[in-house]
């Protein structure tokens, strides 16, 4: 370890954290685009959902990579936070972080855990429902079966947002997601060592736009289905 408590492996871990963050940013963008279809056209949403839900490449290659990405990001986040707290406690009697860092950057672990709690509920609501539908209740043949109902997705999604409490919990979670992304987006670029006098300010603006537009869009989707059922 160097004098500053920075080791090669801690830099490596931050880079891996950033790479898994980039991957999740891309996932979230496509997830948002697909879910926006549910607002625009039931047919389009059903077609894309059925493709994503039954395409072997998506199901057996991309989905496991995604699940791994989520777990990795979470575990590495916890580990890095633990290491940071240890290093801070050693060096300073008092942590005066507010003087030179934002609330978001100091509370990534809190906003991250809130998003994680949301994911627990969200997996139960949608992902687990899909798994039981395809592999457990229907059996393996329902996965390949051509007689499956390809129009169920839009109304199943709408039914989830009838319950006002679920809508409130989802919308609050999207606010935490926004706070997480407000720091996370630009921090990922810093962690991979990207610094440029012209592009860094642009990335910060892009990060702010992403962190506001995507969660606000998710809030819109949840409210839309609640009030249009």
148 binds ligand HEM (CB under 6 A): no
CB closer to ligand HEM, 35 vs 191:
35
CB closer to ligand HEM, 42 vs 84:
42
Answer for which of 53, 113, 169, 208 binds ligand HEM (CB under 6 A) is 53
CA dist 109 and 123 (Å) reads 20
Answer for which of 10, 47, 63, 158 binds ligand HEM (CB under 6 A) is 63
x/- site string to ligand HEM, residues 103 to 132, per CB under 6 A?
------------x------x---xx--x--
CB closer to ligand HEM, 31 vs 204:
31
Answer for which of 177, 179, 188, 211 binds ligand HEM (CB under 6 A) is 177
Residue identified by tokens 């926004």 is 178
151 binds ligand HEM (CB under 6 A): no
CA dist 98 and 123 (Å) reads 35
222 binds ligand HEM (CB under 6 A): yes
DSSP readout, 188-208? HHHHTT---TTHHHHHHHHHH
18 binds ligand HEM (CB under 6 A): no
31 binds ligand HEM (CB under 6 A): yes
Question: Considering only CA atoms, which of 179, 183, 192 is closest in space to residue 17?
Answer: 192
Question: Considering only CA atoms, which of 103, 102, 117, 225 is closest in space to residue 174?
Answer: 117
Residue 4 C-alpha from the chain's centroid: 32
The per-residue b/e assignment along 189-209, b for 16 or more CB within 10 angstroms, e otherwise, is: bebeeeeeeeeeeebeeebee
Taking contact as CB under 6 A, which single stretch among the options 27-35, 104-112, 188-196, 203-211 is the one that binds ligand HEM?
27-35
135 binds ligand HEM (CB under 6 A): no
Specify the DSSP class assigned to residue 99.
G
**Taken in order 210, 211, 212, 216, is the CA torsion positive or negative?**
positive
Q: Which residues here bind ligand HEM, judged by CB under 6 A?
A: 28, 31, 35, 52-53, 63, 66, 70, 115, 122, 126-127, 130, 157, 170, 177, 218, 221-222
């Amino acid at each position: 370890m160097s004098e500053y408590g920075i080791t090669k492996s801690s830099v490596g871990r931050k880079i891996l954290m950033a790479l898994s963050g980039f991957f999740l940013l891309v996932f979230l963008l496509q997830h948002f685009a697909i879910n926006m279809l549910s607002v625009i056209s039931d047919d389009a949403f059903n077609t894309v959902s059925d493709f994503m839900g039954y395409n072997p490449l998506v199901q057996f290659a991309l989905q496991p990579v995604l699940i791994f990405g989520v777990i990795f990001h979470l575990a590495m986040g916890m580990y890095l936070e633990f290491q940071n707290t240890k290093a801070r406690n050693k060096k300073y009697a008092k942590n005066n972080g507010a003087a030179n860092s934002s609330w978001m950057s100091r509370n990534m672990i809190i906003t991250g855990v809130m998003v994680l709690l949301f994911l627990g509920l969200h997996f139960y609501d949608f992902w687990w429902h899909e798994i039981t539908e395809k592999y457990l209740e229907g059996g393996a043949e329902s996965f390949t079966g051509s007689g499956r109902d390809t129009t169920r997705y839009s109304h199943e999604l709408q039914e989830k947002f009838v319950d006002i409490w679920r809508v409130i919990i989802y919308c609050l979670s999207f606010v935490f997601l926004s706070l997480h992304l407000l720091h996370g987006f630009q921090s990922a670029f810093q962690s991979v060592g990207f610094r440029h006098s012209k592009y860094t300010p642009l990335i910060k603006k892009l990060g702010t736009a992403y962190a506001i537009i995507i969660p606000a869009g998710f809030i819109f989707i949840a409210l839309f289905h609640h009030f249009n059922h």
